Structure 1
Amino acid sequence: MSSTSEERSRASNEAAPPVLMGVVNVTPDSFSDGGRFLDPDAAAEHGARLAADGAAILDIGGESTRPGAQPVTAEEEIERAVPVVERLAGATPARLSIDTMKLDVARAALAAGAGVVNDVSAFRGDPEMAGLVASSAADCCLMHMRGEPRTMQEDPRYDDVVSEVASFLEERMRFALAEGVPEERIWLDPGIGFGKTVEHNLALLRRLGEIVAIGRPVVIGASRKSFLGAVTEREVHDRLPGTIAANVMALERGAAIFRVHDVAEVRDALRVTAATVGPPPWTTPNS
C-alpha cells in the first residue's frame, strides 16, 4: 500500500461517527409535525425519546422556517422554546440546540442550558448573534438560505447552486471568525430545501464534497422535505425511505451531522453505511 493510500485509510479509520440531531418543533405550523408538541412537557418527552433513540443533539425550535412561514415575535418564540430547553437540560445526555435567528431567543436558551445556536440566517438576521456565540461556549450552525422563509421559494435561481452556496458559507464563516467565534465551534449547513428547487437540492447532495471541502462539520437537514416528495411522489409522513437515502448519500460524501425527525431508523441506516466507509460508530459524542 502506498503512503498516500495508508494516510487515506488511517484518516477513514479515525473518522468521527455520524451524529444525529433530533428535531423538536414547538410550533403550530411546521411542515411535518406542527402542533404535535406545543405543550412543553410533551415536547420535552418527545426530545427525551429522540435522545434514547440515539440523538446526540436535540434541535429545539419555536418558529417555523417552512416555505411561506410567517415570523413570530421573540417573546412568543421564547415562551415556546425555552421551557423545553429548561426541562431537557440535565435530564438527557444529548446536547441542546436552539433553532433561532433572534438574539434574545438565543440568549435565553443558552442561559437555560442550550449549547448550540442553529441560525438559519447564518448571523444575517441579527449580526450581534455572532458576538453572543463568541462570548459563550456554544457551537453554532450557519446555514445557507435564499431570502427568508416567507419568500424563499419564490422562483429561486442560481448560476451554479453548489458553488454559490459554498461561497456564501465561506463568507459567513469569515464573518463569524472576525467576530471572535473560534473556528472549531462552527458548523455549516447547505440549507437543503431553503430557497432551492428540487434540482438544486439534488445537486447539493450530489456535490456535497465541495461543501465538506471547506473544512468544517457539515450538517444535513433533508428529513421529510418536499424535494423527496417530488422524487418519490410520497406525502410528508411517508418519506422515511427517501430521508434515509438522502442521509446515506450525504454520509458517503462526508457530512457529519444529520438533522432528522426519525432518529432510530436513520441512525441504523447510517451505522450500517459508516461500517462500510469507516469504523462502526459504537459511540456517539455528546459534547
Structure 2
Amino acid sequence: MGVINRTPDSFYDRGTTFAFDAALRAADTAVQRGADIIDVGGVKAGYGEHVTAGEEARRTVPFIAELRARHPDVVISADTWRAEVASECAEAGADLINDTWAGADPDLARVAAEYDVGLVCSHSGGLAPRTDPHRVAYTDVVADVAATVTGLAERAVELGVGADRVVIDPTHDFGKNTYHSLELTRRLAELTATGWPVLVAVSNKDFIGETLDAAVTDRLAGTLATLAVSAWEGARVFRVHDVAAARRALDTVTRLGATETGNGGV
C-alpha cells in the first residue's frame, strides 16, 4: 500500500505530493515499483490546520477519479474518518476505506456496506481524530487492540460489509507510546491469529524514530526491519512511503518463508 498524501503538511513528505500533478506522478511511480494499493489521504493525521470535510473531499475525490482512470486494476484506498467524504471517494472509484480513527464516525461502516467497498478497522485508544495520547496506559495493549478491532470488524459485517473486505489495523502510535507500538510488533501473531487480515502502518513512525534515535529522514532501516518482522508474524497489508524498498524486503521474507516450509523458494 503506497501512501499518497494530498496534504501540505504531512509529517513525512512535507507537502511533496500536495499538488495534483505531483501526486499523480508519485502514484504512477508507486505502481511501477510494486504497489498493489494506493492510499490517498487529504488530512494530516496529527495536529495541524483544521481541514473541513469539503476541503478534504476537494483534495481527494478528483484525484481518486483520475487515479481510477489511469490505473483500473490498482486497489484505491481512501484514508478518511468522515462518512461524507468516504461516500464521495467511493463514488469516484475508491475500493477501500482506510479508517485510522477507529470508527469515530459510526456511519463510515454503513458507507462501506452501501458501496460494497472494503473497510480498515483500527484502534486509537479512544482518541478523537487528530489528537495525540497523553500518559496513555493499558493493562495489556495487545488485548485492548484485539478486542477493539475485532469488535469493529464484526460490527461492519453485521452492517453489510463483506467479511472478505474487512482488514484490521493495530494502528501503531495512534493512542499509544513507543513501548506499546513495539509490543504490538512483537506480538503481532496474536492479531493475525484472529483470522482477519492484518494491515500494518509503521512506515517512518515516531516509535521507530524514538527506538533508534533517528530523525524522520533516517528511519528506512527501522521501517524495513519492522515490516519484515510483521510479515513473518502474518501481516498481509503494508502501508509504506518507499514502495520499492518495502517490496524488496517483503519479497525476501516471502522467499525465506517458502524455503523454511520446504517449498524451495524461487
Would you say same fold, with TM above 0.5?
yes
Please point out which of 55, 80, 83 is paired with 2:62.
83
Counterpart of 1:232, as a letter, is L
Distance 1:149 1:30, change over 3 A: farther
- Residues in 1 aligned to 2:224 and 2:83: alpha-carbon distance in whole angstroms: 33
Shift of 1:150: 3.5
The amino acid of 1:46's aligned partner reads A
One-letter amino acid of the structure 2 residue matched with residue 126 of structure 1: D
2:104 to 103, 107, 125: 125
2:188 corresponding residue in structure 1? 208
Q: Structure 2: which amino acid aligns with 1:185?
A: R
Give a deviation string over 1:11-44, Cα, whole Å, max 9, x none: xxxxxxxxxx000001122211131111112111
Please list, as runs of the form range in 1=range in 2, the aligned pairs for 1:1-287 lying within 5 A after superposition. 21-66=1-46, 68-69=47-48, 71-92=50-71, 93-122=73-102, 124-146=103-125, 147-278=127-258
* Closer, same or farther: CA 213–227 of 1 in aligned 2, 3 Å: same
Partner SS for 1:230: helix
Q: 1:222: Cα distance to partner?
A: 0.4
Separation in 1 of the partners of 2:50 and 2:265? Answer: 39
CA contact 2:123–2:169 (8 Å) conserved in 1:
yes
- Equivalenced residue count is 260
Bigger RCO (CA 8 Å, 6+ sep) = 1
- Structure 1 distance, partners of 2:7, 2:205, is 17
Counterpart CA distance in 2 for 1:136 and 1:83 is: 18
Q: 1:119 to 1:273 in 2, by over 3 A?
A: same
Partner Cα distance (1:34, 1:149) in 2 = 20
Cα drift, residue 53 of structure 1: 0.6
Q: For the aligned residues, what is the CA RMSD?
A: 1.6
Structure 1 residues 54 and 198: alpha-carbon distance in aligned structure 2, compared to 1, 3 A threshold: same
Corresponding letter in the other structure for 1:221:
A
Once residues 49 and 206 of structure 2 are traced to their aligned partners in structure 1, the CA distance between those partners, rounded to angstroms, is: 19
Tell whether the 8 Å contact from 2:116 to 2:162 is kept in structure 1 after alignment. Answer: no
2:76 partner amino acid: L
Partner Cα distance (2:190, 2:101) in 1: 21
* Alignment-mate amino acid for residue 162 of structure 2: P
Q: Secondary structure at the match of 1:97?
A: strand
In structure 2, relative to structure 1, the CA distance for the partners of 1:252 and 1:165 (3 Å cut) is same
Question: Could you say what secondary structure the match of 1:59 adopts?
Answer: strand
Contact map agreement 1:145 1:152 (CA 8 A) in 2:
no
Shift of 1:212: 0.7
SS in 2 for 1:211: helix
**Percent same amino acid at aligned positions?**
37
Larger mean CA deviation between 81-90 and 266-275 belongs to 81-90
Q: 1:71 to 1:188 in 2, by over 3 A?
A: farther
Q: How far apart, in 1, do the equivalents of 2:168 and 2:96 lie?
A: 13
Report Cα offsets for 1:226-257 as digits up to 9, x if no partner: 11111111110111100000000000000000
Structure 1 residues without counterparts, runs of 5 or longer: 1-20, 283-287
